[in-house]
Structure 1
């Protein structure tokens, strides 16, 4: 096991407020929601045939939707079609989902050994990780950047609005943002750290009477000297999240509008790459080796491939037993993608085996699944043949209102997984 550096740091904070964005009814996500709503309405009215027709069309759009197979199973049971109901539940479980039978008692009538075995399998631990460092105190760790040689780790602490640099020798503050502002995205390129900042009530010093625009800030990793800061004067309510310093351009997700923006040539002006209407919550970003394709993970609707040459976009379907929802971070390893998936319980770290042109996910491999080792993991990066990531972010220390349950939570943990070439 890699030695864990135990760093004691004060911090307190959290995340930006999520806003509802308009979803184009003609988009994949918009059509899915319309069909699901139509099916639920039909099911409530007792029209199970119409409900199943709508659910089948919705599932063709999002095969890994957790709600559709459960609704379909209910409709099949009303039609006394137990084999079809069981098949819907098996599809649901084979994609890694859990089910509480005490809250879904209607399924007891068809529950059997096959379903129970799959449910139990979904909760077993898979894989392992090594500990890189543990960060004491209340921090809420979100963004991460890493330089393996010499070992230098950069983390964004949401609670106190700082970027921290950690090494085996200790910790130092690289930069402290203005009160109430924290970095929700972090990336490193040629000695320059790029941070996506946003004002948040979860960060010390927050004052709603003094609004602050979300920005992309570049600063020297060595001393924290600010090099540049870019915002979007056209939309002052943006909330920048995950970012990716690509080969030629920088990309950033805007969670307030469901958009992805591009800083072409690392210049001064942001342009909209993916407009509002297609995604609910874009998060993870990854670029292929020749910088011709960008992959975007929408937490609600899965993976989208953007052709950076043609300017087109397509959503990727999951494999028959795969689940591409709830992904918060993407990082490329060779031609594959390493993904942090905290939308499923237990949380998972995945390897997505991609086709050569990134137009298809050929296989979803679980590298790590563990209630013990993973607690609301956030972001990670590939460094050589290692994946370095926030394994325990301390987000689980917050209640439903975003208040800290304790000022002395278990340390935030940064983990490492060895990757096979």
Structure 2
């Protein structure tokens, strides 16, 4: 749910003319700045310093400060683009080629159209090799087929959950404030499973728990939530009986700002707060939500996964956090070359692979991440799906569900076509497509 903060706009700023356009990097998910230095706040200071240095034509200082910011936020595409702009303005083609090589190695894309003259003149073979790799990063990869196509363009569908026993598909709707259900004999015809009459605001994360036979969902309020003038906002975790559709229980906790994504295993639910640096846990159906960990280093928490005896949480602006389930300490997973910035949907397979949906940067893709034996560093990244025709246009893939060796993906959530001011965009909103793919 990274689209709920201005980090999304920052990451999407692909045509940065100068570093003066980058201060959004400094914003955290909370309104107030952090009380103590964090990687995010230090990066803010470094960006501010780089801006100042660039205005004074002190290119070397700007470069050094951005390199330091990149150490704090490895693989961050906007920092890499900032480094490229510094090299460009400093007329240092060798530095520019070095940055482009790092962008390509991170699995990212940069449009080099118009850059050929000055870069090719410095090293034509090197520039050609970089261009080939960047184009390869954008090329389609993997295969998927349509599991459903839902003609509800105003629903803004965010999440998907599949019940393997019945082949029913459940969908979460942000703008419709409802949970939709697709029967296997009518995969394109949604029925309302639960809605605002059950107390739902916008619905974000959704999951089916085979053990309890519950449909779990998180709900809260964003600018795209249709609200009555006298209606109170809030956020909660909901459990619905899968058979009857009745609300079993609603779980709330004081201090929560926006319960977003979650993972369920053996009746235990771990929930991230997308608007506050907190993770919560519910240890049983009859229990209460409790605070598991609060850490000011968290910026924008998204999906969660359980693997290697630990809890892993995607941070849209930082990468992946590893939470020790014993002492609840948090540490950033050491990335490889591939950028881990912009991860939204995030779950684990039974054998401990992390399946991630990256939508904050170009290209959008689904990745399989293998950790090393310690579970603290990335050993390998494979692209499962990229460039599918249903992932195109002014949309983005969001959340996933995994079961029975398969994955289901909301391929084209139309967040960019749902302005925060409630206006209706000129471009039509597309039908939502759910893609199904085999896990490697």
Match for residue 107 of structure 2 among 84, 96, 112: 96
Gap change, CA 1:108 and 1:36, over 3 Å in 2: farther
Match for residue 67 of structure 1 among 73, 78, 98: 78
C-alpha separation in 2, matches of 1:30 and 1:251: 27
Match for residue 126 of structure 1 among 141, 147, 154: 141
Are 1:219 and 2:240 counterparts?
A: yes
Q: Give the equivalent residue in structure 2 for 1:392.
A: 412
1:165 to partner: Cα distance: 1.6
Alignment of 1:13-162 (within 5 A): 20-21=30-31, 22-23=33-34, 25-77=36-88, 81-101=92-112, 109-111=118-120, 112-138=127-153, 139-162=155-178
C-alpha separation in 1, matches of 2:215 and 2:263: 11
CA RMSD across the alignment: 2.6
SS in 1 for 2:298: coil
1:332 to partner: Cα distance: 0.8
Gap change, CA 1:408 and 1:80, over 3 Å in 2: closer
Match for residue 369 of structure 1 among 363, 377, 386: 386
C-alpha separation in 2, matches of 1:176 and 1:400: 22
Contact 2:334 2:376 in 1 (8 A): no
Q: Give the equivalent residue in structure 2 for 1:297.
A: 314
Gap change, CA 1:400 and 1:220, over 3 Å in 2: closer
Match for residue 349 of structure 1 among 355, 359, 366: 366
Q: Give the equivalent residue in structure 2 for 1:247.
A: 266
Q: Unmatched 5+ residue regions in structure 2?
A: 7-28, 121-126
TM-score, normalised relative to structure 2: 0.82
Match for residue 298 of structure 2 among 272, 279, 282: 279
Q: Give the equivalent residue in structure 1 for 2:219.
A: 197
C-alpha separation in 1, matches of 2:353 and 2:381: 10
Q: Give the equivalent residue in structure 2 for 1:6.
A: none
1:186 to partner: Cα distance: 1.1
C-alpha separation in 1, matches of 2:365 and 2:299: 21
1:77 to partner: Cα distance: 4.8
Q: Give the equivalent residue in structure 1 for 2:430.
A: 410
Q: Give the equivalent residue in structure 2 for 1:183.
A: 203
**1:51-70 deviations in whole A, cap 9, x for unaligned?**
22222222222220112233
Deviates more, 1:252-261 or 1:24-33: 24-33
1:192 to partner: Cα distance: 0.8
Q: Give the equivalent residue in structure 2 for 1:9.
A: none
1:106 to partner: Cα distance: 7.4
C-alpha separation in 2, matches of 1:77 and 1:318: 27
SS in 2 for 1:93: helix
TM-score, normalised relative to structure 1: 0.86
Contact 2:50 2:65 in 1 (8 A): yes
Aligned residues: 398
Q: Give the equivalent residue in structure 2 for 1:165.
A: 181
C-alpha separation in 1, matches of 2:327 and 2:255: 26
Contact 2:223 2:420 in 1 (8 A): no
Q: Unmatched 5+ residue regions in structure 1?
A: 1-14
Deviates more, 1:170-179 or 1:121-130: 170-179
Gap change, CA 1:411 and 1:255, over 3 Å in 2: same
C-alpha separation in 1, matches of 2:225 and 2:71: 41
Are 1:324 and 2:324 counterparts?
A: no
